[in-house]
C-alpha cells in the first residue's frame, strides 16, 4: 500500500507507536504533545500514527468497555494500550480485520513488555470480531460510549445546550472538516472553487470566505496554501476578524494570539498597527510562521497579557481581540482528548482566567473602542456569564449587536452536510462551536 510521500509503514509499527502515544495520553499528555514525543514531525510514520491514535481516543470509552467485558483479568498497561489502539481499527474499513489482528499480535511480540501476552491479544481481538455487531449495538446504548466522554462532560454539555446537547456531543465525535479561508485580495471564492474543481477536489462554499474541502489532505496538497492564497481556519473562527470591525491605520491588539490564525486574518483585512501577544513562547513562533507564509506582519510579543505594565506603552487601542484560553468544548472533533484531559474544576479555573484577561485589557481600550470576546466553547461560564460580568463591572461597557442581530452569538458545532452558504447569511453553514460578544467602551 502506498501513500503520498512513499510506501505506508507496516501496520504493526504504527500500532506499536500509537500504543506509546496512548500511554502518554493516559498519563495526562495532550495527543499533539504525545505524538510529538513519539514520532518526529514530517516522518512517514507520523500521519499513520496520528490517524490511529486519534481514532483510539475517539473510541476510548468503547475500548475500555470491550476490554473490561472480554478480558478475564485486567491486562498490563502496555497490553491495554495495544488493544485500545487496535480495537477501533476493527471498526473501520481501512484494513481487513484479519490484518489488524495479525499486526497487533506482531506488535505485541516485538516488545518485551507485551510479548508474553501476544496470545491474549490474538484471542481477545478474535473474540471481539466474533461478537462485534452485538457488542457494538449494545454498548452504543450507553451515552458515555456513544458520545465518548466522561459523565461530568456529558452533564456539562446537556446543561449548556438542553435541546441540542445530543447533536453537540455527536458533532464532537465526527471527523473534523477541513475548511479554508480564501484571501479575497488574492482570489475570489468563486475562482478558487473553480481551481479546486480543476484539481478534482470536491468542495463547498460554507461561509463568506470559507471553503470546505470534502476530503481533508495535508496542507502541502492544498492548491494555493504555500503561496498564502488560502489558510486553514474553521469557518466559525473566520468570523472574528471581520466582526472586530478594523479599518486602515487602527491600533489593534490580538491578546491571545497563537498560533495566529486570527492575527493573520486581521492583517488580510486592512493595514493595521497590530500587536499580537502570546504567553507561550513556542506557540508564539507559529504566529510568525503563519504571517510569513501570507507575507504579512505584526508586532509579536511573548508576555502574559494580564501583566499589562510589562508590555503596554500606555497608548490606547482602537480594537482588541480577546480569543481567550478556554475548555475547547466547541472544538472536540479537532481535539478528541479534550473531554478526557479536562477536569470539571477546569471550567471554573478557565472562567477566572478569562475574567482576569477581560479586567486587565478593558482599561487599554480607548473611548469608542471595541473589544471582541471569543471562546471556542459552548459553556455559559465561559461565554454569556463573562459578558454579564463585563457589563456589570467594567466602566462604560455596552454590548453591541452582532451580524444577524443578536447581542451575543453562541454557535453550536455543525456536522458537515450539504448546506451551501448563500450571500446575506450572517453565519457559516459549517463550523465548530464558538461564543462571540462585541463590547464597546463609552467612557
Ligand atoms: C484560543 S487560543 C488562541 C487562538 C488564536 N487566536 C488563533 O486564532 O490562532 C488561546 C491562546 O492564549 C494563550 N494564552 C493563555 N493565557 C494567556 C495569557 N495570560 N496571556 C497571553 N496569552 C495567553 C494560549 O497559550 C493560547 O495560545
**What does the pLDDT look like over 126-184, one tens digit per residue?**
999 999 999 999 999 999 999 999 999 999 999 999 999 999 999 999 899 999 999 99
**C-beta 334 within 6 A of ligand 1:** no
Please give the DSSP secondary-structure letter assigned to residue 418: S
* Residue 206 burial (CB count, 10 A): 28
Least Cα distance to 328 among 338, 314, 341 occurs for: 338
Distance 30 CA to ligand 1 centre (A): 16
Tell me the mean pLDDT in the region 48-55. 96
pLDDT at 3: 40
Distance 27 CA to ligand 1 centre (A): 24
**Ligand 1: which of 30, 181, 278, 298 to mutate, most ligand atoms within 8 Å of CB?**
278
Tell me the pLDDT band of 5, cut-offs 50, 70 and 90.
very low
Q: In a 3-state reduction of DSSP, which class is residue 144?
A: helix
Q: What is the CA radius of gyration of the chain?
A: 23
**C-beta 223 within 6 A of ligand 1:** no
State how far Cα 321 lies from the chain centre.
19
**Bigger pLDDT: 417 vs 313:** 313
Tell me the pLDDT band of 6, cut-offs 50, 70 and 90.
low
Phi then psi for residue 186, to 5 deg, are -105, -35
Tell me the pLDDT band of 4, cut-offs 50, 70 and 90.
very low
User: Mind listing the pLDDT tens digit for each residue in 269-289?
Assistant: 999 999 999 999 999 999 999
**C-beta 359 within 6 A of ligand 1:** no
**C-beta 278 within 6 A of ligand 1:** yes
Tell me the pLDDT band of 388, cut-offs 50, 70 and 90.
very high
Tell me the pLDDT band of 195, cut-offs 50, 70 and 90.
very high
% of the chain at pLDDT higher than 90: 93
Average pLDDT across the chain, whole number: 95
Distance 345 CA to ligand 1 centre (A): 20
Least Cα distance to 420 among 178, 159, 124, 211 occurs for: 211
Distance 354 CA to ligand 1 centre (A): 11
**C-beta 305 within 6 A of ligand 1:** yes
Atom of ligand 1 nearest to the CA of 328: 1
Nearest CA to ligand 1 atom 15: 325
User: Residue 348: pLDDT above 50?
Assistant: yes
% of the chain at pLDDT higher than 70: 98
pLDDT at 323: 98
User: Residue 211: pLDDT above 70?
Assistant: yes
Tell me the mean pLDDT in the region 371-376. 98
User: Residue 234: pLDDT above 80?
Assistant: yes
User: Residue 432: pLDDT above 90?
Assistant: yes
Q: How far apart, in whole angstroms, are the C-alpha atoms of residue 386 and residue 293?
A: 35
Question: Omega of the bond prior to 431 within 30 degrees of 0, cis?
Answer: no
pLDDT at 1: 38
Show the cell assigned to 240.
472574528
pLDDT at 436: 98
* Residue 341 exposed, middle or buried by CB count within 10 Å (0-12, 13-18, 19+): middle
Q: How far apart, in whole angstroms, are the C-alpha atoms of residue 253 and residue 311?
A: 12
pLDDT at 281: 97
Tell me the mean pLDDT in the region 256-260. 98
How far CA 99 is from CA of 44, 128, 220, in Å, comes to 20, 14, 30
Q: Active-site residues: which are they?
A: 376
Please give the DSSP secondary-structure letter assigned to residue 309: G
Global pTM?
A: 0.95
Distance 355 CA to ligand 1 centre (A): 14
**C-beta 158 within 6 A of ligand 1:** no
Where is 21: in which H helix or E strand? Answer: helix 11-26
User: Residue 2: pLDDT above 80?
Assistant: no
SS3 content of the chain, % helix, strand, coil (to 5): 45, 15, 40
Asked if 108 and 121 touch (Cβ cutoff 8 Å), the reply is yes
Tell me the mean pLDDT in the region 11-33. 97
**Ligand 1: which of 244, 257, 334 to mutate, most ligand atoms within 8 Å of CB?**
257
Q: Which residue has the cell 508590555?
A: 311
pLDDT at 312: 98
**C-beta 283 within 6 A of ligand 1:** yes
pLDDT at 100: 98
**C-beta 432 within 6 A of ligand 1:** no
Tell me the mean pLDDT in the region 374-393. 97
Tell me the mean pLDDT in the region 256-279. 98
Amino acid at each position: 500500500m502506498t501513500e503520498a510521500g512513499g510506501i505506508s509503514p507496516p501496520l504493526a509499527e504504527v500500532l506499536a507507536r500509537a500504543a506509546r502515544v496512548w500511554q502518554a495520553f493516559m498519563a495526562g499528555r495532550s495527543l499533539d504533545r504525545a505524538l510529538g514525543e513519539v514520532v518526529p514531525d514530517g516522518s512517514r510514520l507520523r500521519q499513520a500514527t496520528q490517524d490511529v491514535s486519534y481514532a483510539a481516543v475517539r473510541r476510548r470509552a468503547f475500548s475500555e468497555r470491550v476490554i473490561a467485558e472480554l478480558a478475564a483479568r485486567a491486562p498490563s498497561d502496555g497490553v491495554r494500550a495495544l488493544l485500545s489502539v487496535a480495537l477501533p481499527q476493527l471498526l473501520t474499513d481501512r484494513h481487513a480485520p484479519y490484518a489488524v489482528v495479525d499486526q497487533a499480535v506482531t506488535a505485541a511480540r516485538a516488545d518485551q513488555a507485551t510479548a508474553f501476552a501476544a496470545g491474549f491479544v490474538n484471542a481477545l481481538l478474535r473474540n471481539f470480531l466474533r461478537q462485534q455487531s452485538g457488542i457494538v449495538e449494545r454498548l452504543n446504548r450507553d451515552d458515555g460510549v456513544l458520545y465518548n466522554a466522561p459523565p461530568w462532560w456529558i452533564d456539562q454539555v446537556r446543561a449548556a445546550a438542553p435541546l441540542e446537547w445530543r447533536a453537540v456531543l455527536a458533532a464532537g465525535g465526527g471527523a473534523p472538516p477541513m475548511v479554508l479561508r480564501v484571501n479575497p485580495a488574492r482570489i475570489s471564492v468563486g475562482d478558487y472553487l473553480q481551481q479546486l474543481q480543476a484539481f478534482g477536489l470536491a468542495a463547498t462554499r460554507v461561509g463568506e470566505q470559507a471553503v470546505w474541502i470534502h476530503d481533508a489532505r495535508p496542507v502541502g496538497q492544498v492548491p494555493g496554501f504555500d503561496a498564502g492564497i488560502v489558510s486553514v481556519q474553521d469557518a466559525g473562527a473566520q468570523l472574528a476578524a471581520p466582526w472586530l470591525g478594523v479599518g486602515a491605520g487602527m491600533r489593534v491588539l490580538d491578546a491571545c494570539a497563537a498560533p495566529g490564525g486570527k492575527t493573520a486574518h486581521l492583517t488580510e483585512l486592512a493595514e493595521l498597527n497590530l500587536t499580537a501577544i502570546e504567553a507561550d513562547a513556542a506557540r508564539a513562533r507559529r504566529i510568525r510562521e503563519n504571517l510569513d507564509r501570507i507575507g504579512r506582519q505584526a508586532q509579536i510579543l511573548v508576555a502574559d497579557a494580564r501583566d499589562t505594565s510589562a508590555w503596554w506603552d500606555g497608548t490606547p487601542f482602537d480594537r482588541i481581540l480577546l480569543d481567550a484560553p478556554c475548555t475547547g468544548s466547541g472544538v472536540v472533533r479537532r481535539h478528541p482528548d479534550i473531554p478526557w484531559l479536562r477536569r470539571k474544576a477546569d471550567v471554573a479555573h478557565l472562567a477566572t482566567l478569562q475574567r482576569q484577561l477581560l479586567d486587565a485589557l478593558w482599561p487599554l481600550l480607548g473611548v469608542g473602542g471595541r473589544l471582541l470576546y471569543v471562546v471556542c466553547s459552548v459553556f455559559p461560564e465561559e461565554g454569556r456569564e463573562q459578558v454579564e460580568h463585563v457589563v456589570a463591572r467594567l466602566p462604560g461597557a455596552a454590548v453591541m449587536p452582532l451580524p444577524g442581530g443578536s447581542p451575543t452569538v453562541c454557535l453550536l458545532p455543525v456536522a458537515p452536510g450539504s448546506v451551501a452558504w448563500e450571500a446575506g447569511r450572517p453565519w457559516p453553514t459549517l463550523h465548530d462551536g464558538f461564543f462571540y460578544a462585541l463590547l464597546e467602551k463609552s467612557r
